Amino acid sequence: MSYRFGTVESVRSDVKGKAPRVPEQPATDPSFRRLRPSAPVHRTVQEEIRSYVLTNKLQPGDPLKPEAELARQFGVSRSSVREAVKALESTGVLEIRKGSGTYVRDFSFAPLFDHLPYGLMVGTRVLRDLLVLRKALESAMADDAMAALRPETVDELRRVLAEMGERAARGEGYAVQDREFHRLLFVDLDNEMLLHLFDLFWQAFHRSSEAIPDHDLLAGYRSHEEIFDAMLSGDTERARDAIRRHYVDIEERLEA
């Protein structure tokens, strides 16, 4: 009798004339499908992981299956899964926590900003377009923002505005305070998407702001002060006008 590799039980089954027992394989999750990619494997795996997250309605903070399990379910190498996961991390879909695992990431425009073409990050034309978008959005939302402002947010706006004034008086820039001021104006709307979008505009604008001539820091501070006073007045048109004037001043400096 010829020798066969296998378990003791499988050899005994052969002796009795029965078909050898095939070792059971772990069950495959029906949410996955074996891949037969025509595109590069890691790109196909990326799309499948995206699909898996959406199909299973995974929420931010939910864990993804381990790398080895994903490789087995998809029928691909672990290196392909690893490359796909890293790509999805760079685009903001997943978050790799060292020593813990991979998780679905909360939404953010930051990865999108990091991958914008270089041509969109330089030049006065791009800055002008960004200003038009910011001005339109902020002025359009001014009425709702005024109605939603909470007393504690007003106090925070006063604090940030005071810091801005102090720095301007010393001849120091106040980019951090500027960013926080505009965020606080709309934070009480409880619209995370809107805040992310405003922040994306702010980042893109300030990364490219070297194209803007130096400005009068005190004049910039007073422009923010006018917006604050107008928002507290409850007068929608006054608030919108203050926002428009704030951005028109920057547009004029771009034309200089």
Q: In 3-state terms, what secondary structure has residue 102?
A: strand
Could you say which of 106, 139, 170 is where a domain stops? 106
Looking at the DSSP bridge assignments, the partners of residue 103 are 63, 95
Q: Clarify whether residues 163 and 242 are in a common domain.
A: yes
Owning domain of residue 122 = 117-255
What integer pLDDT is reported at residue 10 of this predicted model?
A: 39
CATH code: domain of residue 190 = 1.20.120.530
Could you say which of 77, 106, 135 is where a domain stops? 106
Q: Clarify whether residues 101 and 216 are in a common domain.
A: no
Q: Say how far apart CA 97 and CA 104 lie, in whole Å.
A: 11
- In a domain, residue 168? The reply is yes
Q: What is the mean pLDDT of each run of 10 residues along the chain (256 residues)?
A: 35 42 49 58 88 88 91 90 89 86 78 53 69 90 96 98 96 92 96 85 69 74 96 95 90 73
How many structural domains compose the chain?
2
Q: Where are the alpha helices (DSSP H) in the chain?
A: 8-15, 41-55, 67-74, 78-90, 110-114, 124-148, 151-169, 175-186, 192-207, 217-233, 236-255
Q: Clarify whether residues 156 and 238 are in a common domain.
A: yes
Q: Clarify whether residues 184 and 62 are in a common domain.
A: no
pTM of the model: 0.61
